[in-house]
Amino acid sequence: MTPYILYSDGKGNIFEDTTLYAVGRSGWEAMPIPEFEWIELPEGGSLYELPGRQGIGIDVHSGEMRLCEKGWAVAAFIPPAHTGLYLAAYETQPDAPTLPLFCYTATGWHNEKFYVPAVRIERDIRQEAGGYDQAKVEEGVNELLQAYPHNRLVKHLAENCALTYHCPAARNYFLGRWECPIPSSPACNANCIGCISFQPQEETITSTQDRLTFKPTAAEIVEYTVPHLETAPYPIVSFGQGCEGEPLLMWETIREAIIEIRKHTNKGSININTNGSMPDAVEKLMEAGLDSIRVSTNSARPDIYTKYYQPNNYAFEDIVESLKVVRKYNGWSSINYFVFPGVTDCIEEYEALRDLIKETGLNMIQWRNFNIDPDWYLGKMNISDQGENLGIIQMMALIHKQFPDLKFGYFNPPIERMKNFDVDFAH
Ligand code: SF4
């Protein structure tokens, strides 16, 4: 089974072209996708038309690769908990606009259904599209805004995150379940090319969220997180969200909050999503009671990391040190690994990742789809040919074989899963 290519008429209407089979892209290269790597587009996935781009496919008769002349290329945004294995394959016209900060996975049509090359990497259902009842979210928003009338963070999570950005984590907070976000930092010490909370004026794309504009107090953090830890199923409270800069820049406030939270409850876990830039601050937070860390990275190679993060006053070695510090305190350590087919699965990256896992004693890889325009990323990073590629699914299999205790997923695990990852946590 190979799906047919999709194209759009530029007005939001999408059609299949039955003269062409769909292919995928890895790095700069278009290639056929093995049959077993296609799955039906999961619920919550969406399709994008790509202006100024023509899809590449395989002619059903000649077997030759050629462009689809019928319209714009189409890509899929696959929902959380799934990792894309190939990018959408297309040719970009010189005046094509840069695409916004979403992931662009290959897609096709077969038997009246949309297909994507992807794998479900996470069984946790906390961000299933079908699990959000908007009326209940709004009910929760009204209730908690009344409960905390002077709390700027709850107001931010309500008005911006839940009701404007439709952030899954914020909506879960207002539904009284699972992982609750704690944005805390208006500033950052990195300058990521694809930053989702801040894009420089000169760039044509905009950030998907606006960065937090105030510094919350420890009291504001404690006020709404303690009741969440006390009452939510599988509760986690997480510093470091998409709507802020780098939380470690606020480590004193975070430490104060952790100490205060643990005076009131020992339930659930306290996590930080971070760029991992300040290992000394991480140590202070572990001493205070932090349970887990998730360090974001586009690569396990210092040069590829540095070109993307453009760090101020820290280096790749600092993020490695932060991961090691957490393990020293027997905390749970994950990397938020931005998967880019053709870069992530090249031999050099695979070897660097193995070294990183060995050196840090890493607990988990969260194989995340990289939300960025592929041409723009490769161009900005000046990445040409990365040499031989393993394929994302083969790379996952190789890493799993060498590190059988290393967990794969997409979300920060609750304390129950940190203790026993295979616990049957029926939400
Ligand atoms: S570390 Fe996060 S907030 Fe800072 S520049 Fe990168 S993506 Fe943006």
311-353 confidence digits (pLDDT tens): 999 999 999 999 999 999 999 999 999 999 999 999 999 999 9
As a whole number of angstroms, the longest Cα–Cα distance in the chain is 70
**Ligand 1 centroid, distance to 81 Cα (angstroms):** 22
Residue 17 · residue 68 · CB < 8 Å:
yes
In tens, the pLDDT along 50-69 reads 999 999 999 999 999 999 99
Compute, in angstroms, the gap from residue 189 CA to the centroid of ligand 1. 8
For residues 185 and 241, give the distance between their C-alpha atoms in angstroms, rounded to a whole number. Answer: 9
C-alpha span between 287 and 293 (Å, rounded):
13
What's the confidence (pLDDT) of residue 422?
82
Q: What's the mean pLDDT in 249-273?
A: 98
pLDDT at position 385: 83
CA dist., res. 170 & res. 137, Å (int)? 9
For residue 395 the two structure tokens come to 């790379």
78 token code pair:
């696959």
d(Cα 288, Cα 221) in Å, to the nearest integer? Answer: 15
Among 286, 170, 187, which residue's Cα sits nearest to residue 238? 170
Q: Report the C-alpha gap between 400 and 404 in whole angstroms.
A: 5
Q: In angstroms, what is the span from residue 16 Cα to ligand 1's centroid?
A: 38
- The string of pLDDT tens digits covering residues 93-126 is 999 999 999 999 999 999 999 999 999 999 999 9
The tally of CA atoms less than 13 A away on the side-chain side of residue 100 is: 10
pLDDT at 257 over 80: yes
Q: At 1, is the pLDDT very low, low, confident or very high (cuts 50, 70, 90)?
A: confident
AA identity, residue 254 = I
Residue ranges and CATH numbers for the domains of the chain are 4-120 (no CATH), 129-419 (3.20.20.70)
Phi, psi of 127 (to 5 degrees): -120, 30
Pocket test for ligand 1, best of 191, 196, 197, 211 (most atoms within 8 A of CB): 197
164: Cβ contacts below 8 Å, ≥ 6 apart: none
197 lines ligand 1 (CB under 6 A): yes
Pocket flag, ligand 1, residue 246 (CB < 6 Å): yes
**Average pLDDT over the chain, rounded to an integer:** 97
pTM of the predicted model as reported, rounded to 2 decimal places: 0.97
Mean pLDDT, residues 81-87: 98
For the residues 158-179, what does the mean pLDDT come to?
97
pLDDT above 70: residue 427: no
